[in-house]
Amino acid sequence: MSEQPLLSVENLTVRFAMNRRGLFSPATHLYAVDDVSFHVNRGETLAIVGESGSGKTTAALAAARLVTAYEGRVVLDGEDVLPLEGEELRQMRQKG
């Protein structure tokens, strides 16, 4: 039986609203991270590399719930952390 990953990021997307050009202009979004997936097993190390501005830091911040993900799943030690809020989120962070 294979061990489940310690961290599993699936189809993560993070977008930021851009300023409108006028009052009636449609809202536009900048996709900082678009459909990113990776898994980290216990004892493994993951390096995310890429050009400046490619979304490396934003992906890590979204996985840590420090910026809001638009879509996707982040499963840490078997628990999906994206839907957590308030006290549940605080307790998850304290598990460390």
Q: Are 76 and 16 in contact (CB under 8 A)?
A: no
Residue 58 lies in domain:
7-95
Residue 64, token pair as written in the block: 């840590």
What does the DSSP 8-state code read for residue 22?
S
In this structure, is residue 2 part of a structural domain? no
Mean pLDDT of each 10-residue bin along the chain, 96 residues long = 85 90 80 96 95 95 94 94 92 80
Q: For residue 76, give the H/E element and its range.
A: strand 71-76
Residue 1 lies in a domain: no
Q: Report the pLDDT value the prediction gives residue 2, as an integer from 0 to 100.
A: 64
Q: What is the DSSP string of 41-74?
A: -TT--------TTSSHHHHHHHHTTSS--SEEEE
Q: Is residue 17 part of a domain?
A: yes
CATH number (domain holding residue 46): 3.40.50.300
Q: Is residue 58 part of a domain?
A: yes
Beta bridge partners of 9: 38, 74
Domain total for the chain? 1
